[in-house]
Homo-oligomer: A and B are copies of this chain.
Amino acid sequence: MEELISRANILIEALPYIKAFYGKTVVVKYGGAAMTDADLKEKVMQDLVLMKYVGMKPVIVHGGGPEITRVMEKMGKKVEFVKGRRVTDQETMEITEMVLVGKVNQEIVAAINWHGGQAVGLSGKDGGLLTARKHNEPDVDLGFVGEICKVAPEVIDILDQEKFIPVIAPIGVDAAGQTYNNNADDVAAAIAIALKADKLILMTDVPGIMKDPKDETTLLSALQITEIEELISKNVIQGGMLPKVRACEKALNQGVNKTHIINGCVAHALLLEIFTDQGIGTEMVKASA
């Protein structure tokens, strides 16, 4: 009985967070270890279903790089990266779309359904969700790597208002019908802006922004966007973290309330970020109230 009551107390302690996020839209970029590790993956799915049931509107955007590489290799297609981005010729684009939409996306959908949710997979083509254009990188042609120029969120809206959880592959299409692969962090930010989301959460494989990347105790729990430039100039924000911070900055500047960069290697990282005061990663806001 003692143990039961202590469990009840934990539920009750979640109540203020449940109230605070009731009816709020939370866009989650799902990727990294939380996607490849079976245990972590299961816990993310549980978190998403719980979020839906206690009244939030979770929207998932996923990547899927390793799986694309695996299939490309199997099909005898050479894999090439420049500046951390996959060089994407037409055949690579087709494989990418096939893997992201037909495999990675559907695995997430099935996993959410397995845990009692009702997920619906979408690519940026469905309902004209994502219009993209070629991403121009100086000095190099990455091929069909795109960037989002328009979001038509109606199809997400009608799913969100019902019991469904939208799961989105970061595929976009331009006015001429050409398909592009897009960075999932950027897609998540663009969708969060279009949905006027309350939160954008980017799952990574590190604890967040750390002053000393080797020392987790130097984690910056909270940040205002005015502090970003200095942290970049001091190389605290660098490498793969830089575009994530830029995506967050853009979302905050265009109406998203808060952004979070969290460690997907921690079990239930989503719930911990949402249901505890200090959270577990780096929270960014436009300016402190």
Which residues does A use to contact B, with CB under 8 Å? 1, 4-5, 7-16, 18-19, 22, 43, 46-47, 49-50, 53-55, 71, 74-76, 94, 97-103, 105-106, 109-110, 113-116, 118-123, 125-128, 154-155, 158-159, 162, 164, 171, 173, 177, 179, 266-268, 271-272, 275-276, 280
Residues on B with C-beta less than 8 A from A271 are 8, 11-12
Interface of A is mostly: helix
* Distance from A60 Cβ to chain B, minimum over Cβ atoms (Å): 13
B268 touching A12, Cβ below 8 Å: yes
A113 touching B98 by the CB < 8 A rule? no
Q: Is the CB of A53 within 8 A of B4?
A: no
* Complex Cα spacing A272 to B11, Å: 11
B-chain residues with CB within 8 Å of residue A75 when the two chains form the complex: 71, 74-75
9 chain-A/chain-B pairs, Cβ below 8 angstroms: A5-B266, A8-B271, A15-B49, A53-B54, A71-B75, A75-B75, A106-B125, A106-B171, A113-B128
10 further contact pairs, Cβ within 8 A, besides A8-B268, A75-B75: A1-B266, A8-B271, A12-B271, A101-B105, A102-B103, A102-B105, A109-B123, A110-B179, A119-B127, A121-B122
Q: Which residues from B are CB-within-8-Å of A115? A: 15
Residues of B within 8 A of A125 (CB): 106, 109-110, 113, 119, 121
- Chain B residue nearest in CB terms to A175: B114
Contact A127 B120 (CB under 8 A): yes
